[in-house]
Amino acid sequence: MKPLRLLVSLPNRNHYQQEQAKAAIHRASQLGVEARVLDADNNPVTQSQQVVEALQGHEARPDAVLVEPLTSTALVKAAEAAVGAGVGWVLLNSHADYVDRLRSQPKVPVFAVTRDHIEIGRIQGRQFAALLPGGGVVLYIQGPNNSGAAVQRTEGMESTRPANIAIRSLRSQWTEESAYEAVQAWLRLSTSRPESIGVVGCQYDGIAAGARKAFRDISSTEDRDRWLAVPVTGVDGLPDEGQVWVNRGELTATVVALTTTAVAVEMVVKALQTGVQPPPLTLVELKSYPALDTLAMKAKKK
């Protein structure tokens, strides 16, 4: 009997996605399953083409596709094609209305394993409130505008930020390099002064790292020191990245929202072997790091 084959389609190769890939391969190996990981290089067209080509390869067609989609439509056409061909479909870090519809055809597992992006945003809004008890301005660096995760994180943040905190928004891809370029361009504006910003809030720890790098490259020593003193927050909180940066003082806070692939691989393999559909939606645990009361105490001391 041939081993089950899984295709894991990830949007890029930032540090979080590298951890996603490693977790998928490791868990698949433990379960005696083949896992092939593809990187879409932040291109939704490339991602769709890669998945469709894999589905059309009859000899090596996967038994299930696990995909973290680059667009808010979540590759609906590819999902329909996969289920129609008897291939399981798992959304990572995303959820879409079509999941329930495709689950009504109980031939293959269809479900989502995600982080609750609205709740991630809510935690960020609470972090801003803890860090700016008297109000102020947050420079909020979001992911791309076609990303469902970025949209939902912004929605959640807006629902919990106090009225006395204003938001100035920037856009970035989910990479340190893109954030660095976005912040460098913003810093060239005459209105971009360190005394006007109370917190730099970022939707990904890598974006936070890019923002900090842009601050370190400011030529004026006085301005550089002022910007580097502004609290910076992020999201993901991987043990060897975001949490380490918080412990070192390079980040003020992050939202711990760990990888989803290991859980998804285990669930889809069990479903393929037993024929039992998993729950339509599984959420991973989230928390502020450090805790919100700790952030508030630090802000009060400052």
If DSSP codes are grouped into helix, strand and coil, which group holds residue 283? strand
Both 79 and 156 in a single domain?
no
Which residue type is seen at 206?
G
Both 130 and 24 in a single domain?
no
- pLDDT at position 58 is 67
> From its phi and psi, is residue 274 left (phi > 0), alpha (psi between -120 and 50) or beta?
alpha
Q: Is the peptide bond before 194 cis (omega within 30 degrees of 0)?
A: no
The answer to the question of residue 67 being in a domain is: yes
Using 50, 70 and 90 to split pLDDT, how confident is the model at 300? Answer: confident
The answer to the question of residue 291 being in a domain is: no
- pLDDT at position 1 is 65
The answer to the question of residue 126 being in a domain is: yes
Using 50, 70 and 90 to split pLDDT, how confident is the model at 290? Answer: very high
Look up residue 23 and give its DSSP letter.
Answer: H
Both 32 and 111 in a single domain?
yes
pTM of the prediction?
A: 0.86
Q: At a CB cut-off of 8 Å and minimum separation 6, what does 126 contact?
A: 160, 288, 292
Count of residues in the chain: 302
The answer to the question of residue 296 being in a domain is: no
Both 110 and 133 in a single domain?
no
> From its phi and psi, is residue 80 left (phi > 0), alpha (psi between -120 and 50) or beta?
alpha
Domain of residue 149, CATH code: 3.40.50.2300
Q: Per-residue pLDDT tens for 240-289?
A: 999 999 999 999 999 999 899 999 999 999 999 999 999 999 999 999 99
Residue 276 CA, distance from chain mean position: 29
Count of alpha carbons within 13 Å of 206, Cβ hemisphere only?
16
Q: Quick one: three-class SS letters along 188-231? A: CCCCCCHHHCCEEEECCHHHHHHHHHHHHCCCCHHHHHHHHCCC
Both 110 and 125 in a single domain?
no
Both 127 and 21 in a single domain?
no
- pLDDT at position 192 is 87
Q: Per-residue pLDDT tens for 23-71?
A: 999 999 999 999 999 999 999 999 999 999 999 976 789 999 999 999 8
For 229, the domain range is: 117-256
Both 249 and 266 in a single domain?
no
- pLDDT at position 60 is 84
Both 82 and 125 in a single domain?
no
Number of domains in the chain: 2
The answer to the question of residue 269 being in a domain is: yes
Both 245 and 279 in a single domain?
no
The answer to the question of residue 81 being in a domain is: yes
% of the chain exceeding 70 in pLDDT? 98
- pLDDT at position 72 is 82
Both 121 and 228 in a single domain?
yes
Q: At a CB cut-off of 8 Å and minimum separation 6, what does 195 contact?
A: 226
- The yes-or-no verdict on residue 86 having pLDDT over 90 is yes
Both 62 and 108 in a single domain?
yes
Q: Determine the Cα–Cα distance for residues 298 and 151; give it in Å rounded to an integer.
A: 30
- pLDDT at position 191 is 85
The answer to the question of residue 165 being in a domain is: yes
| Beta-bridge partners for 67 | 9, 91
The answer to the question of residue 249 being in a domain is: yes
Both 187 and 277 in a single domain?
no
